[in-house]
Amino acid sequence: MTTGAKIAWDDTVLPFQLDKSDIRGRVARLDGVLESVLAQHDYPPLIEALVAEMALLTALIGQTVKLRWKLSLQVRASGPARLIATDYYGPTDEGEPARIRAYASYDADALDEMADPFSQIGQGYFAILIDQGEGMTPYQGITPIAGGSLSACAETYFAQSEQIPTRFNLTYGRSQQPGEESEWRAGGVMLQHMPKASLLRQGAEADEDGLLMAASLLEDDEGENWNRANALLDTVEEIELIGPSVTPDELLVRLFHEEAPRVFDTQPLRFGCTCSGDRVRQSLSIYSAKDIEKMTTDAGTVTADCQFCGAHYVFDPKTLGFEAEITEPND
């Protein structure tokens, strides 16, 4: 694979459809985006792994939604990994990249560095939030933490909340090419049965936690197609998912050539944060001058840090809150 081809497929999502199986899907590759997301923080390896998996899920799911603004994934839990939050901002114009950012909150002292990353989440919930912008009511769907991975949680969410059979096969980690420094790379495939199968079947089976299973949502012929596609996906190797030796379109031919795969335009991705001084000032506009005074440091300023990108903002307290004495131009 040439360097040019590698660059062309890095940080992209490739939509596809299996015409003979009534299944749609996405292939995602992240490298620079993931490096940028993780470079904003000094996370321990366990947290890096969870953030990497969540960012990859966000890239795959975000591209399936016709967004005017933002899709967010969140995990809130009782374990040492207390919060994992990601945002996917749809492209503002055709051909423009979508933007991804991610953040995690954790109890460093309680982390078990020798444990499986997912075990550090504990009990809690997995949520998908869709905000189409001003004038639109945000959507939120929640499912309990279940399975052995964040991707299993996402599969459960789609079966339980959307009644759409969904499967993820993901891999992520540090990768090194000969003569190059190691870097974070992630790759994955998402399969979904077409929405006509989303009507809940009478007597659909649930797992031991009472949550619906993807296969139980399908009729016999649909189930056979779904099982066949999943069996084919099971043959994929990690190096094929993560690249760069196999391009996403080559991977689809290798896996699903008998299912008549059809590809669509790729969606480029980049790291992007929407924070700004103006947004911070607006978020503080609900506070009184007395409240702002309590936030003021010994240096006589109010400071704020973006949890996603680490940007540091410093304000004159007189310019903040609904009792602000001075109106300053936007930052």
Confidence of residue 54 (pLDDT cuts 50, 70, 90): very high
pTM attached to this predicted model? 0.84
Q: What tens digit of pLDDT does each residue of 226-250 get?
A: 999 999 999 999 999 987 788 999 9
Q: How many Å apart are CA 108 and CA 228, to the nearest integer?
A: 43
The confidence band for 196, taking pLDDT boundaries of 50, 70 and 90, is low
- Distances in Å between the Cα of 40 and the Cα atoms of 48, 245, 321 are 11, 28, 29
pLDDT given at position 207:
53
Q: Which of 128-137, 171-180, 237-246 bottoms out in mean pLDDT, i.e. has the lowest?
A: 171-180
| pLDDT mean across residues, the chain | 86
Question: In this predicted structure, what is the pLDDT of residue 197?
Answer: 43
Whether the per-residue pLDDT at 168 is higher than 70: the answer is yes
DSSP labels for 26-86?
Answer: EEEEESHHHHHHHHTS---HHHHHHHHHHHHHHHHHHTTS--SSEEEEEEEESSSEEEEEE
* Mean pLDDT score, 191-202: 63
